[in-house]
Structure 1
Amino acid sequence: MDHYLDIRLRPDPEFALPLLLGALYAKLHRVLAAQQRSDIGASFPGYALATKTDQGKTVPPTLGDTLRLHGSAAALDSLMAANWLAGMRDHVTLGHILPVPAAASLVRVRRKQVKSNPAKERSRLMRRKGISEAEALRLIPDDKAKWLDLPYLTLNSQSTGQRFLLFIAQQAATQAASGEFNAYALSQTATLPAF
């Protein structure tokens, strides 16, 4: 991961930033899956968790306005040759493929999942264990729903067509670690440069 490429979203009065970032990321996912790539990672320089203002208002978590892709110069060149940004070019400013600065720190960017839909969990439990709806409700009450206070992307599943939230945890790391990246450019083990 010695090179990077920044893709910055331009402000648009018609489309909110999270919507544009979701569309951009969906395109990235499709090209990574089609090319079966595991050598491209993604990070978010503007990543921030929820914060409180001086007035006590909560500023929601954000991924920011920039998607940073990491890889070798050859891998990034190959990815960008695929013309996967078609339809998004008016909404982005595309940087150049550049070497990572020597003084970069490290981050780990991974997907976080929780069981946030008790009804779906109950249905699954009834199917698998053959228990009644009442028993499933006793085991998994509605108040068991969990929500992550992390930035997320709203994407559509290619297999089911349903919308889902892709929660992103981006945390500082102290030691470099290698690993493969999935078709969302995320890894449970690999670190990326942060600057």
Structure 2
Amino acid sequence: MMFYQEITLYPSAEIPTSFLMTKVFMPLHFTLASQKEKLGEGRIGISFPRYTEESLGNKVRIFSKEREILESADIPQALRFLQDYIHLTAIREVAAPRIKGYAVYRRYQPDSSRFRKAKRYAKRNGISYEKAFKLMKTKKPRRLPYVQLKSKTTQQKFSLFIEKIEAPACEGNFNAYGLSQQATVPEF
């Protein structure tokens, strides 16, 4: 049995969906991080029901196996300052007949640049950097949707790329972003 809450973003002509997703994701991340710290493991996962290769869409679902964990996360409190731009449902039970499948939502970190690859290749193979650089093929980087975040410790901005992979149901833990390398969440 699983429970979830759903956040729907209300973009406008002045405020794009991607900007709102970033504004929602930051306090959501802090909430999930504090829950993970409290419980010693990540027991809250997220999904993006309208995910495409270009966009995360305008919905976020937050899942947990236990209603109490979602209640203690207090998502409404974390997102209170965004109430004019979002709709947050009450905690609901996932109805098994509605489940169409399962998916892993995980962090994707793009490959290093061609320059760094060439430097490593030259060092490993004992050839000049110039020769290694010519040997490096530049493959087109994958374009995945992301949210723009700011590190609380270093204050640097970074892009958190999110990849969706359909997979059979698999249990596991989630990180402080609600993502996992193997744990699935239901799709419906």
TM over 0.5: yes
Distance 1:139 1:86 in 2: 53
Q: Is the aligned partner of 1:45 residue 2:49?
A: yes
1:114 to 77, 93, 110: 110
Unaligned runs of 5+ in 1: 50-60, 130-134
1:1-195 equivalences in 2 (<5 Å)? 2-35=2-35, 36=37, 38-49=42-53, 61-71=54-64, 72-80=66-74, 83-103=77-97, 104=99, 105-118=101-114, 139=132, 144=138, 147-173=141-167, 175-195=168-188
Q: Which has the higher helix share?
A: 2
Structure 2 CA distance for partners of 1:70 and 1:137, relative to 1, 3 Å: farther
Contact 2:11-2:20 within 8 A present in 1 as well? no
Contact 1:106-1:194 within 8 A present in 2 as well? yes
Q: CA offsets, 1:133-158, max 9 Å, x none?
A: xx656645797476222211111122
Contact 1:117-1:145 within 8 A present in 2 as well? no
Runs of 4+, deviation exceeding 4 Å: 116-123, 135-146
Distance 2:63 2:4 in 1: 4
Unaligned runs of 5+ in 2: none
How big is the shift at 1:118?
4.9
Give the TM-score normalised by the residue count of structure 1.
0.78
How big is the shift at 1:162?
1.9
CA-based RMSD of the aligned residues comes to 2.7
Which is further off, 87-96 or 185-194? 87-96
